[in-house]
Amino acid sequence: MNGGQGLNSYANNSTYQRGGFEAVKPIMEEEIATKLDLKNRSSKTPFRIADFGCSTGLNSFPAMQTIIQAIEKKIDTQKGLLSGPPDFQVFFVDQLVNDFASLFRLLPPERNYYSAAVPGSFQDRLLPNASIDFAYSSCALNWFSKIPAAVEDRSSPAWNGGRVHYTGARREVFEAYAKHFANDIRLFLEARAREVVAGGLMALLVPAVPTFEIPDNSFATPTELDLVGSCLVDMAKKGKIKKEKIDSFNFPMYLTIPQEFQTILERNPKFSIERFEIIDSPGKSTLAGANARAGFMRAILEVLLINHFGGEIIDELFDRYTKKLASSPVFIDPNNDKSILILVILKRKPE
């Protein structure tokens, strides 16, 4: 994500993600009130929360505050459960390249928790054994740790030359992405199973689509990532980008469907699925207009694009993208947005 607080920053272009949290906030509060196990705890023991995918914090801070307030309410309404609220500690977790400096500059001054940064891959162990009481992740697990190897292998049936994503590509490309996603989620759950205490909760908010459309032999549903790809191809035709650079680039992002995601979760024996909800996409109301949608895409894609193509193409690329978006009756109409969000509440089973 773009760091800082500038015009193209994630901080100023993440209303979609904030809308997702606002949509699930009442459900999370309800699940904490009814499912969080606080028995055998002492108020002298800190309650530890981890946000996997905190970015620069502006969407993470309200989520952390909501979780803490819900826990405090549970303690207050169940007299005798604890002698008083414990200290709270929040671990803000994200990739090594995340702008943690901006996150700590933006920390709410009146927060009621201690904070720490934890950089690293979500697929690895990042925290001590049985140290986390509540884990949270929003709009982060759809991003890959790396591109599927087969997609970048010219000798593989899944090679995706000339395209930048699995949408519109051959079935083999889609299947390589799906397999990689399942493995990433498996590793994520295995790592969190070591870190989350027995009886602890994990809330996952994952961007998704209702169903896969795979007529014939291709994954055919176009997305805005394909629109970005078409702009790159247009620039290559004008000699501004080498075609080989497009052949070797793919977006490391995948949108699952509910049935697929539930099946992956059920394979892990350490967590029980306490709640599985489908939420309508907040993009219909939070990303109205071409400029807003382009700003959102630039905030989440610019770093990836600069690392591969260089920074000199970015302004022209997103100028082209904004114009294509504005002239497209398909993409500019929010009613055509079929994306959804999946909210899952998991509970760590006792050993």
Q: What is the pLDDT of residue 273?
A: 97
Low-confidence winner among 35-49, 105-119, 145-159 (lowest mean pLDDT): 35-49
Q: Rounded to an integer, what distance in angstroms lies between the CA atom of residue 345 and that of residue 351?
A: 19
φ, ψ (nearest 5 deg) of residue 226:
-65, -35
Mean pLDDT to the nearest integer, 293-300: 83
- pLDDT tier at 129 (50, 70, 90 boundaries)? very high
Q: Rounded to an integer, what distance in angstroms lies between the CA atom of residue 284 and that of residue 266?
A: 31
Q: What does the angle CA 18 – CA 22 – CA 27 come to, to the nearest 5 degrees?
A: 140
Q: Provide the mean pLDDT of the chain.
A: 87
- pLDDT tier at 215 (50, 70, 90 boundaries)? very low
Q: What is the pLDDT of residue 18?
A: 75
- pLDDT tier at 199 (50, 70, 90 boundaries)? very high
- pLDDT tier at 287 (50, 70, 90 boundaries)? low
CA 9 centroid distance within chain: 17
How is domain 15-348 classified at the architecture level of CATH? 3-Layer(aba) Sandwich (3.40)
- For the record, the structure tokens of 304 come out as 């990836």
Q: What is the pLDDT of residue 32?
A: 94
Residues of the chain with pLDDT > 90, as a percent, come to: 51
List Cβ neighbours of 296 (8 Å cut-off, separation of 6 or more): 13, 14, 15, 16, 287
Q: Rounded to an integer, what distance in angstroms lies between the CA atom of residue 94 and that of residue 115?
A: 14
Q: What is the pLDDT of residue 34?
A: 93
CA 86 centroid distance within chain: 29
Output the CA torsion 91→93→99→102 (10° steps): -20
Residue 206's CB is within 10 A of a number of other CB atoms, namely 21
- For the record, the structure tokens of 262 come out as 């539930």
Mean pLDDT to the nearest integer, 44-61: 91
Whether pLDDT at 217 is above 60? no
- pLDDT tier at 119 (50, 70, 90 boundaries)? very high
- For the record, the structure tokens of 208 come out as 């998704």
Instruction: Please report how many Cα atoms fall inside a 13 Å half-sphere around the Cα of residue 165, on the Cβ side.
Output: 23
Q: What is the pLDDT of residue 214?
A: 55
Q: Rounded to an integer, what distance in angstroms lies between the CA atom of residue 247 and that of residue 161?
A: 4
Q: What does the angle CA 207 – CA 208 – CA 213 come to, to the nearest 5 degrees?
A: 155
List Cβ neighbours of 232 (8 Å cut-off, separation of 6 or more): 164, 241, 246, 249, 309, 317
Whether pLDDT at 222 is above 70? no
